[in-house]
Chains A and B, each alone.
Chain A
Amino acid sequence: MKNEINEAHEAHEESSEEITKKRRIVIPGEVIVSGEDYLPGEGVRREGNDVLASRFGLAEEAGRVIKVIALTGAYIPRRNNVIIGRVFDITFNGWLIDIDSASSGFLPIDESPRFINKNEMNQFLAIGDAIVAKIWSVNAKGTDLTLKSKGLGKLEKGFIFRVIPNRVPRIIGREGSMISLIKEKTSCNITVGQNGWIWIYGSSVEAEIKARRAIEFIAEKVHVSGLTEIMEEWFEKNK
């Protein structure tokens, strides 16, 4: 399968490499700033005159808005995320997909890229098959997926591994810079799912392992700036 997922990654708002001035680690209940001028954003609440963190992560000031970016934790599905999942059940009108989050994903038969006979659903996707899919709706009942977009579909060959989902924006980099660098240096096909599952397929096992090691190296470096340069050095060293 040709892998042209770049477009799909790019759209992701939370590119954590945005340059903001003040950033520090906060723990739940810690006062980030005091004063009436600030607005509480995501992961933050106001109590009297203080703005407090309500989760563990990096506090960021963007103008008057204060927010906390989570660094750890389980994946929470969002609309338009591209994710990697695995089929774990087939129902009469679709597939149930394990997307490594609290709710399982559902891929209706109508959302497959071509017409599929209801009696032959397991010939298209069988239990245990891995897919790249896009989330098209998140509601109380669950998460609905689609395969009708460029670069989505079944994953054959290669292998899948998992990183902490919150580190995905770093692995992709600003406008996909980081992932393009890794693809270029290892000449592997790589798909990064927002749920932290990563698929790699390359010409040789060595190249695949190198790509995986590079990604795991990035996932460990949480708040180092200029990671792309560090990675270029890393590739020089690990030729």
Chain B
Amino acid sequence: MRKINKMAKEKGTFKRPSGRGLAEIRKMTAKVGVVPNADGSAMFSFGDTIAIAAVYGPRQLHPQHMQDPSRGILRVNYDLLSFSVYERKKPGPSRRSQEISKVTEWALLPVLDLKEFPNTVIDVQIYIIQADAGTRTAGINAASLALAHAGIPMKNLICSISVGKQDKNLIVDLDKDEEDFEEGEGATDFPIAKIANSDKYTLLQLDGKIQPDMAKKVLALADKACEEVYEVQKKALKEVIEK
């Protein structure tokens, strides 16, 4: 990788280690209805990152003090499974997984209409069975499909993508190698989720450094990438019925 970038610097052009174009997303696959026991479920993958989401509910919420008589609540649990990475991850909840669960919940909630289900909960379980960066975005995409599959009233789908910066170049859908890049200005990871076919963003996070004027370019790149994600999601949902 280092070699390639050295060469790139000399030539003045930049090439990604994987050989992808700057705005090229890894191969996406999506499948709906993968967990037979769930009310709705989906799998979404970006290359080697694979997320599975299962939706249960609306169902009775315990503990009772969490119940909301005016609307249902959403509860997301993100779990990076211990075998999903090269070095075994200690299983169980962590600071990181709690944070991702929470931001995923916030990313999904604006499109859901839970007024019909007072005092209930909709549980979303997200399992990352293979991780190669971009797990939260894959998780959000899968969860959005699973919620639609579970027949929950929602305004639109949520599409999510991470845009990043390697040294001075903006790139779409970072993989693990690119995320760990340390030369020059280093790597920046900018995960974004938005409501499909609109300009409303439901998740914006930033890990690394970026110039303010570049942030606008990031959003433009994300908009384009999200359209591609949306097409994949749409196809997966339609396929589940036509089989």
Question: Which residue numbers of A lie inside 8 Å of B, CB to CB?
Answer: 25, 27-30, 43, 45, 54-58, 70-74, 76, 101-104, 140, 166, 222-223
Contacts and interface: CB of A to CB of B under 8 A. Distances in A.
Contact of A28 (B59, B156, B238): B156
13 contacts: A27-B157, A27-B233, A27-B234, A28-B157, A29-B155, A54-B154, A56-B149, A72-B151, A73-B149, A74-B150, A101-B59, A102-B59, A140-B118
Which residue among A29, A43, A101 has the maximum number of chain B CB atoms within 10 Å of its CB?
A: A29
Given A43-B153, A54-B153, A102-B120, A28 B57 contact: no
Q: Which 7 A-B pairs have the closest CB atoms?
A: A73-B151, A29-B156, A56-B148, A102-B120, A102-B58, A70-B151, A28-B154
Which residue among B195, B197, B238, B241 has the maximum number of chain A CB atoms within 10 Å of its CB?
A: B241
Interface residues of B, number: 34
Interface of B: 33, 39-40, 57-60, 69, 111, 113, 116-120, 148-157, 195-197, 233-234, 237-238, 241-242
A28 B148 contact: yes
Given A25-B242, A74-B57, A56 B151 contact: yes
Contacts, number: 83
A57 B40 CA distance: 13
Nearest to A29: B156
A30 B33 CA distance: 20
A24 B241 CA distance: 10
Which residue among A30, A72, A103 has the maximum number of chain B CB atoms within 10 Å of its CB?
A: A72
Nearest to A27: B237
A70 B148 CA distance: 10
Nearest to B72: A102
Contacts of A54: 113, 153-155
Contact of A55 (B33, B117, B119, B148): B148
B60 A27 contact: no
Contacts of A30: 234
B117 A102 contact: yes
B151 A166 contact: yes
Nearest to A71: B241
A70 B58 CA distance: 15
Which residue among A30, A58, A223 has the maximum number of chain B CB atoms within 10 Å of its CB?
A: A30
